């Protein structure tokens, strides 16, 4: 690890700014206006669910609401609607808590289920690339933009929600917050406390898309072509 | 109320009727109107071309000319917008910054003055015809006057008002832009003429003679039968 | 390294643009949609002006302390296993990147969309190494296959129609399908998937670097940047030095301003925040990470009246409202950065010599300034550029003389008053029915496409004087 040319580069910038270079003591000011904290202020979880559900439509994502008891059936239906075949998911304690192994038992025998296993290395990526469906839990869910936030780690590669043709996010209701403001604040606080942020944090709002050809919206480019968000009442 | 008329060079020389209508409207609304004869041009042609020193000559002359005025009112959003920029131009100038601020603070565009200062929303005029309005760029975006002209127009008796599609788009005048980049300016005014034609209006009204001279000149060249007039003409018609 | 795309006079590029009917229709349609989308988002938030003020304040503070935040960023990236290279020039940046690629013996590089790599001419530099470089953003890929340049900073292939794209795919990649956008995109997905999987090195740009944690935020809809960051073991990020924010909280605010202003979306499909190398036992992401921070003329703006140009977050909303851009298209600006921000930024980065026309390619209508989500006074900066060009003595002689005249005229009530008396007779030879259809001198350009109302006999001031006298009699 190395840093090259830093001093001459930054010294020059400071000189252009007409002052000595600063390497410490700059404090981020309290901004004079803060409209970000006012959005959906004081709303309860039910109101946020409504906002979230409406936004799903705008981002071409199917929205399903269920509870823990019925999650199994709902998930089976969604997986079947995507054609089953092969599924990849992170190694996540929530898999068991929410009864996913049970659910997979309901699927056809020949459905391939792969739980991320870092001991087999790059093979995980290859499996993800071939998988028909990726399933993850949302860590923080943003109502305003219908966004799931994923903190990746050695049990949860970015490939899972990126490479398969279809993506399913399971969203515990308690993860709902108004907007990205709250997610950013949580991460910022952790950093302030000296914690390391995950090497990859993704904010995913629906399937991939592009408007690069004549401004026509095409849903499904390099990432998933279809997405379903399953909101689970706890 | 005492009002000093800021005629603007373009109306002084090219469109004197704009000044006559402005004087008559203000007098009808109870203002005492004088015309400081030492006024020249707001300096915008030189300023926008980057000739700062040349522009400052004009600006200083304007500051001198209106030194004793209570209110300065001009029939142009763009020229009044320029005067409002004077404090910025003379920032840090110990002699001129303060007088520039004083002039900027007491200078208003005609419709802005009528609605915001006099508090009048209906000038009592009558005008028969289908009218559309071009909200010129400097009036709306530099000076921030968006509603006043429309309020006054909509309260004119007999008027049929139609919105101009893509009205916020520049007509391509831009002062020296029109002769410095004529090919681009031409495409812009052609588009504006198309939009005006789409409305089916008999009259195109605006608050800036520069833009109107541009659009009107183009529509005349195209043989279009739309009359292009300054808003003061409608506000001073009583037939 | 010039930002100029082609060695042609400005007017020639303008003419080409004006004559390109498809491009003009495409741009006009796109502007309409972009504008409607942006306004809808602004309206939904309700207090858009407060958001813009916040955006401006964040950018102002950050750029004012850019040395501090870049220092912090580099410390954090290093802590997370990355290398940081500060490049003063395009050449320095390119040669560092080439060196990394040669050390890795790379055969294939995948890139996600990055304007700064266009600016420094990275692809041309990499061509010298013999490594295959694949642009993975759909629009950029189309342009790469054609050997064309972006004409817009957000939707680079805006000037292409689907039939042109179908032909290119057929000729270059043996595509046999239709010109339906969905089918074209599905083909691109398949083609590029294999490129992603084979690539040894990935190169990305950077929307916002977060100083507090050494994080790079990438904003995309297609998911290509995520593929670039996920698969190859070696990753290089190239960022313009000003693309930085203090913390995640400012990133969040600016990302929201960016996506709303750029494409009228509340957020794009993917906002991904990557920090350094992958952690132990992680599979995805690089194990060799390089951040290249580029100046390339940006520091020219620091401490000057152009500093706010560095506040730009590259949303393109100024381009999407600009009537000049609508008629001439992006290529006519003949710079990597088109539109109002291009006209402001290009001369700052690259000097006036090659870009003297850009500050004049604006009617100063102010639509750009009004649209800018971080309140950069773009049209005022164009005037400032004009002032610099005048100061440098680089305007045409005839213009200098004319402006001297204008200065004298406006500065002297006597000369001015004379002109009000003489205008009518001076233009009389060209006047017919109170109209001038074929004016002399500088009026020629005006009357080429429109009539000029001739000055009447009596000026306003003379009327007012007479009226006063009449009143007194």
Distance CA C196, CA C226 (A): 10
Chain A residues in contact with C229 by the CB 8 A cut-off are 158, 200
- Residue B119, number of CB atoms within 10 A of its CB: 7
Distance set, CA A106 to CA A102, A111, A166 (Å):
7, 10, 19
Instruction: Give me the residues of C, 311-370, that contact A with CB < 8 A.
Output: none
Q: Is C401 on the interface with A (CB under 8 A)?
A: no
Is C66 a residue whose pLDDT tops 90? yes
Integer angstrom CA distances of residue A38 from A35, B201, C42, C52, C209: 5, 44, 15, 15, 25
Q: Which residues of B touch C395 (CB under 8 A)?
A: 50
Closest CA to C302 of C3, C58, C66: C66
Specify the residue for token string 């300065």: B72
Compare all CA atoms of chain B with the CA of C443 and give the residue at the minimum distance.
Answer: B179
Structure tokens at C284: 């995805």
Domain ranges of chain B: 2-117, 126-235
Average pLDDT on B6-20 reads 97
Indicate whether C364 pLDDT > 90.
yes
What count of other Cβ atoms lies within 10 Å of the Cβ of residue C344? Answer: 29
Q: Among candidates A219, A48, A41, A36, which has minimal Cα distance to A146? A: A48
- Domain of residue C450 covers 415-472
pLDDT (mean) for A97-112? 90
Structure confidence by residue, pLDDT tens digits, C99-130 = 999 999 999 999 999 999 999 999 999 999 99
In this complex, do B47 and C15 lie within 8 Å of one another by their Cβ atoms? no
3-state helix, strand, coil in chain A (%, to 5): 35, 25, 40
pLDDT of residue C309: 98
Q: State both tokens at C169.
A: 């795919």
pLDDT at C1 over 80: no
Residue A214's pLDDT is: 84
Going by beta carbons, is chain A in contact with chain B, meaning 3 or more pairs sit under 8 Å apart? no
Provide, as residue numbers in chain A, all residues whose Cβ is less than 8 Å from the Cβ of C254. Answer: none
**C243, C277, C296 — which closes off a domain?**
C296
DSSP A101-114: HHHHHHS-TT-EEE
pLDDT at C192 over 90: yes
Handedness of CA B211, B213, B214, B218 (dihedral sign): positive
Percent of chain C having pLDDT more than 70?
99
Number of domains in chain C: 2
Q: Best of C364, C414, C455, C465 to disrupt the B interface by mutation (most B CBs within 10 Å)?
A: C364
Average pLDDT, chain C: 95
Answer whether residue A99 shows pLDDT above 80.
yes
Q: Is C293 helix (H, G, I), strand (E, B) or coil?
A: strand
pLDDT value of residue C462: 95
* pLDDT classification of A1: cutoffs 50, 70, 90: confident
Query: Is C363 in contact with B182 (Cβ distance < 8 A)?
Result: no
Region A35-51 average pLDDT: 96
**Interchain CB distance below 8 Å, A188 and C249:** yes
* 3 state DSSP class of C202: strand
CB contact C318 to B (< 8 Å): no
Q: Closest Cα to residue C298, out of C250, C355, C349?
A: C349
The answer to whether C463 contacts chain B (CB < 8 Å) is yes
Q: Are residues C284 and C430 in the same domain?
A: no
Pairwise CA distance, residues C426 & C413, whole Å: 19
Q: Which of C403, C410, C451 sits opposite B49 (nearest CB)?
A: C403
Any CB–CB contact under 8 A between C399 and chain B? yes
Q: Write down the H helix ranges in A17-142.
A: 45-58, 68-81, 93-97, 100-106, 123-130
Q: What is the mean pLDDT of residues B221-237?
A: 97
**Which residue out of B38, B74, B138, B184 would a mutagenesis test of the C interface target, given it has the greatest number of C Cβ atoms within 10 Å?**
B184
Give one DSSP letter per residue of C214-281, joined into a string.
TEEEEEESSSHHHHHHHS-SEEEEEEETT-EESSHHHHHHHHHHHHHHHHS-SS-SEEEEEESSPPTT
Minimum Cα–Cα distance from C53: chain A residue: A33
* Contact call for C185 and A213, based on CB within 8 A: yes
| Per-residue model confidence (pLDDT) at position B59 | 98
Which candidate, A6, B79, A124, B156, places its Cα nearest to that of C68?
A6
- Specify the DSSP element, H or E, that contains B113: none
HSE (CB half, 13 Å, CA atoms) of C182? Answer: 3
Q: CA triplet C359, C364, C366: central angle to 5 degrees?
A: 120
Express each pLDDT in C387-396 by its tens digit: 999 999 999 9
Mean pLDDT (chain A) is: 96
Q: Which of residues 131-160 of C touch A (CB under 8 A)?
A: 136-139, 142, 155-158, 160
Asked whether the predicted pLDDT for residue A161 surpasses 80, the reply is yes
pLDDT (tens digit per residue) in A182-205? 999 999 999 999 999 999 999 999
C392-424 burial by CB neighbour count: b if 16+ within 10 A, else e?
eeebeeebeebbeebbebbbbbeebbebbeebb
Residue A25 — very low, low, confident or very high, per pLDDT cuts 50/70/90? very high
Cα radius of gyration (chain A): 21
Q: Nearest residue on chain B to C434, judged by CA atoms?
A: B14
Asked if the Cβ–Cβ distance from A122 to C51 is below 8 Å, we say: no
Rounded to an integer, the average pLDDT of B12-24 is 97
A218 part of contact set with chain C, CB < 8 Å: yes
**Banded model confidence at residue C216, pLDDT cuts 50, 70, 90:** very high
CATH of the domain at C124: 3.40.50.10420
Which among A12, A211, A217 is the top mutation candidate for probing chain C, defined by the most C β-carbons within 10 Å of its own β-carbon?
Answer: A211
Chain C hits for B187, Cβ within 8 Å: 18, 327-328
Quickly count: other Cβ atoms within 10 Å of residue A54's Cβ.
12
ipTM: 0.97
**C-contacting residues of B 143-182, CB under 8 Å?**
168-170, 172-175, 177-182
- Choosing among 3.20.20.70, 3.30.70.890, 3.40.50.10420, 3.40.50.10800, the CATH entry for A43-233 is 3.40.50.10420
CB C370 to CB B183 under 8 A? Answer: no
Residues of C in contact with A163 (CB under 8 A): 227
Contacts of residue A232, Cβ cutoff 8 Å, sequence gap at least 6: A66, A67, A68, A71, A98, A170, A171, A172, A173
| DSSP 8-state secondary structure symbol assigned to residue C332 | G
* CA–CA distance, C383 with B23 (Å, rounded to integer): 33
C-alpha distance from C435 to closest chain A C-alpha (Å): 44
CA distance C184 to C179: 7
- The predicted pLDDT at position A108 comes to 81
Q: Least CB-CB distance to C192: which of A6, A147, A222?
A: A222
Nearest CA in chain A to C183: A218
Tokens of B138: 């400097």
Q: Do C273 and A206 touch (CB under 8 A)?
A: no
Residue C473 has pLDDT above 70, yes or no: no
Average pLDDT over residues C366-392: 98
Give the closest of C364, C442, C450 to B177, CB-based. C364
> Tell me: the pLDDT tens digits for B131-177?
999 999 999 999 999 999 999 999 999 999 999 999 999 999 999 99
A33, closest residue in chain C (CA to CA) = C54
Handedness of CA C409, C415, C420, C421 (dihedral sign): negative
Q: Give me the CATH code for the B126-235 domain, please.
A: 3.40.50.1860
Contact list, C460 vs chain B (CB under 8 Å) = 7, 11-13, 16, 18-20
Quote the CA–CA distance of A209 and A59 in Å, as a whole number.
10
Q: To 5 degrees, how large is the angle CA A164–CA A169–CA A175?
A: 150
- Of C248, C280, C296, the position where a domain reaches its end is C296
Test the B interface: residue of C10, C347, C363, C469 with most B CBs within 10 Å? C363
CA-nearest of C65, C87, C83 to C246 is: C65
Nearest by CB to C363, from B41, B52, B174: name it. B174
Beta bridge pairs of residue C87: C294
**pLDDT surpasses 80 at C232:** yes
Contact assignment for C406 to B51 by CB distance below 8 Å: yes
Output the CA–CA distances (angstroms, integers) from residue A111 to A79, A84, A85, A125, A126, in the order listed.
10, 6, 5, 18, 17
Chains in contact with B, where contact means 3 or more Cβ–Cβ distances below 8 Å, are C
d(CA C59, CA C314) in angstroms, rounded, equals 13
CB atoms within 10 A of CB C35: 18
Over pLDDT 70: what percentage of chain A? 100
pLDDT reading at C343 higher than 80? yes
User: Where does the pLDDT of residue A109 fall: very low under 50, low under 70, confident under 90, or very high at 90 and above?
Assistant: confident
pLDDT of residue B158: 96
For chain A, which residues make up each domain, given as ranges?
A: 43-233
Residue partners of B6: CB distance under 8 A and separation at least 6: B39, B42, B62, B66, B72, B73, B74, B79, B80, B83, B107
Q: Is C361 on the interface with B (CB under 8 A)?
A: yes
Tokens 């090259």 -> residue: A4
Coil, strand or helix at C169: helix
């Amino acid at each position: 690890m190395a840093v090259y040319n830093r001093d001459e580069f930054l010294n020059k910038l400071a000189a252009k700014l007409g002052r000595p270079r600063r390497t410490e003591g700059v404090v981020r000011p309290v901004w004079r206006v803060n409209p970000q904290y006012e959005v959906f202020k004081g709303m309860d979880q039910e109101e946020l669910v409504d906002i979230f559900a409406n936004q799903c439509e705008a981002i071409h994502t199917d929205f399903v609401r269920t509870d823990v008891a019925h999650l199994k059936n709902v998930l089976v239906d969604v997986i079947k609607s995507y054609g089953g075949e092969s599924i990849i998911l992170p190694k996540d304690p929530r898999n068991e808590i929410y009864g996913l192994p049970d659910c997979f038992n309901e699927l056809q025998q020949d459905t391939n289920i792969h739980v991320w296993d870092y001991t087999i290395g790059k093979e995980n990526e290859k499996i993800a690339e071939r998988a028909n469906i990726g399933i993850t839990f949302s860590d923080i869910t943003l109502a305003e933009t219908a966004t799931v936030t994923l903190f990746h780690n050695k049990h949860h590669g970015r490939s899972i929600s990126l490479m398969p043709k279809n993506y399913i996010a399971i969203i515990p209701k308690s993860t709902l917050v108004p907007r990205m403001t709250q997610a950013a604040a949580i991460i910022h606080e952790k950093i302030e406390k000296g914690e390391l942020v995950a090497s990859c944090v993704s904010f995913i709002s629906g399937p991939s898309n592009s408007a690069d050809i004549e401004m026509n919206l095409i849903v499904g480019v390099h990432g998933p072509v279809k997405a379903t968000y399953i909101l689970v009442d706890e | 109320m005492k009002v000093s008329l800021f005629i603007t060079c373009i109306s002084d020389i090219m469109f004197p009727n704009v000044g006559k209508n402005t004087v008559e409207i203000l007098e009808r609304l109870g203002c005492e109107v004088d015309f400081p004869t030492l006024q020249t041009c707001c300096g915008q042609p030189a300023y926008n071309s980057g000739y700062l020193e040349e522009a400052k000559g004009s600006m200083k002359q304007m500051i001198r000319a209106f030194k004793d005025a209570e209110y300065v009112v001009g029939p142009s959003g763009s020229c009044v917008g320029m005067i409002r920029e004077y404090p910025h131009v003379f920032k840090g100038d110990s002699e001129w910054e303060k007088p520039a601020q004083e002039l900027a603070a007491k200078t208003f565009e005609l419709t802005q003055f009528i609605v915001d200062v006099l508090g009048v929303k209906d000038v009592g005029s009558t005008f028969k015809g289908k009218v559309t309005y071009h909200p010129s760029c400097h009036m709306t975006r530099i000076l921030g006057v968006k509603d006043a002209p429309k309020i006054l127009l909509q309260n004119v008796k007999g008027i049929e008002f139609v919105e101009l599609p893509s009205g916020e788009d520049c007509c391509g005048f831009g002062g020296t832009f029109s002769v410095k980049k004529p090919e681009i300016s031409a495409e812009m005014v052609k588009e504006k003429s198309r939009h005006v034609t789409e409305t089916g209006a008999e009259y195109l009204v605006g608050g800036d003679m520069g833009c109107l001279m541009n659009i009107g000149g183009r529509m005349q060249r195209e043989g279009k039968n739309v009359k292009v007039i300054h808003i003061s003409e409608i506000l001073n018609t009583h037939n | 390294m010039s930002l100029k795309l082609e060695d042609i006079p400005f007017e020639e590029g303008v003419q080409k643009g004006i004559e390109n009917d498809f491009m003009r229709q495409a741009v006009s349609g796109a502007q309409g949609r972009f504008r409607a989308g942006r306004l809808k988002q602004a309206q939904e938030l309700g207090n858009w002006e407060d958001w813009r003020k916040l955006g401006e304040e964040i950018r102002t503070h950050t750029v004012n302390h850019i040395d501090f935040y870049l220092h912090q960023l580099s410390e954090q990236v290093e802590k997370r296993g990355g290398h940081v290279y500060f490049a003063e020039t395009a050449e320095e940046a390119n040669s560092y990147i080439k060196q990394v690629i040669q050390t890795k013996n790379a055969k294939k590089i995948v890139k996600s969309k990055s304007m700064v790599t266009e600016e420094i001419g990275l692809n041309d530099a990499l061509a010298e190494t013999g490594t295959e470089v694949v642009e993975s953003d759909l629009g950029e890929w189309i342009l790469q296959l054609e050997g064309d340049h972006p004409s817009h900073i957000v939707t680079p292939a805006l000037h292409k129609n689907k039939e042109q794209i179908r032909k290119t795919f057929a000729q270059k990649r043996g595509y046999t399908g239709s010109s339906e956008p969905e089918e074209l995109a599905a083909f691109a997905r398949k083609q590029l998937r294999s490129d992603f999987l084979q690539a040894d090195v990935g190169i990305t740009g950077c929307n916002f670097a977060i100083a507090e944690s050494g994080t790079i935020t990438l904003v995309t809809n297609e998911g290509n940047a995520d593929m670039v960051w996920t698969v190859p073991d070696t990753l290089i990020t190239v960022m313009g030095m000003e693309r930085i924010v203090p913390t995640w909280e400012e990133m969040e605010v600016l990302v929201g301003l960016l996506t709303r202003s750029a494409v009228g979306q509340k957020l794009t499909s993917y906002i991904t925040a990557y920090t350094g190398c992958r952690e132990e036992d992680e599979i995805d992401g690089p194990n060799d990470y390089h951040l290249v921070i580029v100046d390339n003329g940006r520091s020219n703006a620091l401490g000057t009246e152009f500093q706010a140009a560095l506040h730009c977050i590259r949303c393109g909303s100024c381009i999407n409202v600009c009537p000049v851009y609508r008629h001439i298209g992006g290529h006519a600006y003949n710079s990597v950065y088109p539109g109002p921000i291009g006209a402001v930024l290009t001369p700052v980065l690259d000097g006036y010599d090659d870009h003297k026309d850009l500050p004049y390619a604006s009617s100063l209508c102010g639509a750009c300034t009004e649209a800018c989500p971080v309140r950069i006074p773009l049209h005022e900066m164009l005037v400032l550029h004009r002032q610099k060009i005048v100061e440098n003595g680089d305007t045409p002689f005839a213009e200098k003389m004319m402006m001297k005249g204008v200065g004298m005229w406006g500065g002297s009530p006597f000369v001015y008053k004379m002109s009000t008396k003489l205008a009518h007779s001076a233009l009389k030879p060209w006047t017919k029915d109170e109209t001038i259809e074929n004016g002399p001198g500088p009026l020629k350009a005006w009357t080429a496409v429109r009539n000029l109302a001739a000055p009447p006999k009596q000026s306003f001031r003379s009327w007012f004087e007479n009226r006063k006298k009449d009143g007194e009699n």
